[in-house]
Structure 1
Amino acid sequence: MHALLEGIIAGLAVAIPLGAIGVLIIQRAVEHGFVSGAAAGLGTATADAAYATLAVTVGAAVGPAIAEHATALHWAAAVVLMVVAVVLARPVWSRGDASVVAAPPDARAASPLRSYAMVLGLTLANPTTVIYFAALAAGPALGAHASGASRAAFVAGVLLGSAVWQVVLAAVGAGFRSRLLTPTARRWTAGVGAALVVVLALRSAIAA
């Protein structure tokens, strides 16, 4: 129970600061509804849990390896993020075509599975998250001699804590959806989402 609680706290701690990913989850919910936004949020929670799993299993080895190849990883992440930003910004470029702007969102773009995969990939593009969890796993939360059950409970807690917060963000976005579905608002939300991903790309490039 102690390890589960520590995991929940760790998951909330990494999720609550409202960065670009959090705002992007809200944007997905505004554009495509609660289910798509929640799926995006679960993508982030899955990435957090994946990195927590790495941390509690092979964290001591993964941390130095990530640090050794940090420059290449950051540049690769920056390139991928810029491509995603271009895709997200397509509604902004179509502003001159009234028929495109006024049309409902593309069903494929609204797919919960697509939202999940996209945000999962974006969150995984920040591999330094594993260092955060590795530090927690090596500290008093678990300790070097924690049992397998305790480590599994810690990962489950991270998944739960992160997922709860991401779903809250999706609910916030869905709550404002009726006010933000005009063609102009769609362009703005698409632009904001793309701009935030560009910020992530620039941060990754600067850190390289």
Structure 2
Amino acid sequence: MTAALLAGLLAGYGIAIPVGAVGTYLVSLTARTSLRTGVCAALGVATADGLYALAAVLGGSALASALRPALGPLRWVCVLVLAALAARGAAGALRQHRDRRLTMRAVPPPPGALRAFLALLGLTLLNPTTVIYFAALVLGSQGGSAAGAAERTVLVTAAFAASASWQVLLAGGGALLGRALTGHRGRLMTALVASGVMTALALRMALTPA
């Protein structure tokens, strides 16, 4: 049981700690909205990681074999989604900044908690890095099929908890950043920097050989 717990924690932190496009978007989203929205988005990321961990321990090597043909299409879908999010974030930040300076029009409401959860859940499920990571985890766990139901449950729960704790930490950092950058110009720069980072990561993903 202890081995399953440690394996789950290592798997969860292993996929969560490297801050890529999803983490960048999470921090930016929380900085522009609220901690509640950010935490819900963070739980969306962790839920996707937990679902892949569950599929890994249940599907075994058959899952990894089935995922291989889909990795290429998933990579390009993820590239397009990231590019669209980056463009939308930059355009939205510029529009809000312009409207607040030139007019008194109301700013569109930020995404709600449920919408943020579903958006980050979907984006993480499309992320080929997550797919490849858990597929490799399956292939490397030769004894996974022999594990009992209790050990599998502990592993999946630990992976979810590890991912959730790190993503919530990122959301908290985004909330602190949002409080520090209370001015319109500060929030604009945050959104533009995040969009630039996401665009660069999407280009890198597109140009990296599969």
**Bin for the TM-score computed over the shorter chain:** 0.7 to 0.9
Aligned pairs for 1:29-108 (under 5 A) are: 29-94=30-95, 95-99=97-101, 106-107=108-109
Query: What CA distance in whole angstroms lies between the structure 1 residues aligned with 2:131 and 2:26?
Result: 21
* Structure 1 residue runs of 4 or more that deviate by more than 4 Å after TM superposition: 99-105, 137-142
**Which residues of structure 2 form unaligned runs of 5+?**
none
Q: Partner residue of 1:168? A: 169
Residue in structure 2 matched with residue 127 of structure 1 by the alignment: 128
Residue range with higher mean Cα deviation, 39-48 or 1-10: 1-10
Which stretch has the larger CA shift, 125-134 or 152-161?
Answer: 125-134
Deviation at 1:14, TM superposition (A): 1.4
Q: What is the distance in 2 between the residues matched to 1:160 and 1:137?
A: 19
Deviates more, 1:191-200 or 1:29-38: 191-200
Matched, 1:114 2:115: yes
Question: Matches of 1:140 and 1:62 in 2, distance apart?
Answer: 13
Relative to structure 2, which stretch is displaced further, 16-25 or 36-45?
A: 16-25
| Percentage of identical aligned residues | 38
Give 3-state SS (helix, strand or coil) of 1:97's partner. helix
What is the aligned-residue RMSD (CA, Å)?
2.6
C-alpha displacement of 1:128? 3.9
Alignment partners' CA distance in 1, 2:206 and 2:105: 36
Q: Unaligned regions of 5+ residues in structure 1, if any?
A: none
Instruction: Tell me the distance in 2 between the aligned counterparts of 1:153 and 1:175.
Output: 33
Report the CA distance shift for 1:110/1:128 in structure 2 as closer, same or farther (over 3 A). Answer: closer
Q: For residue 18 of structure 1, what is the aligned residue in structure 2?
A: 19
Using structure 2 for the length normalisation, give the TM-score. 0.84
1:46 and 1:55 map into 2 onto residues whose CA distance is 14
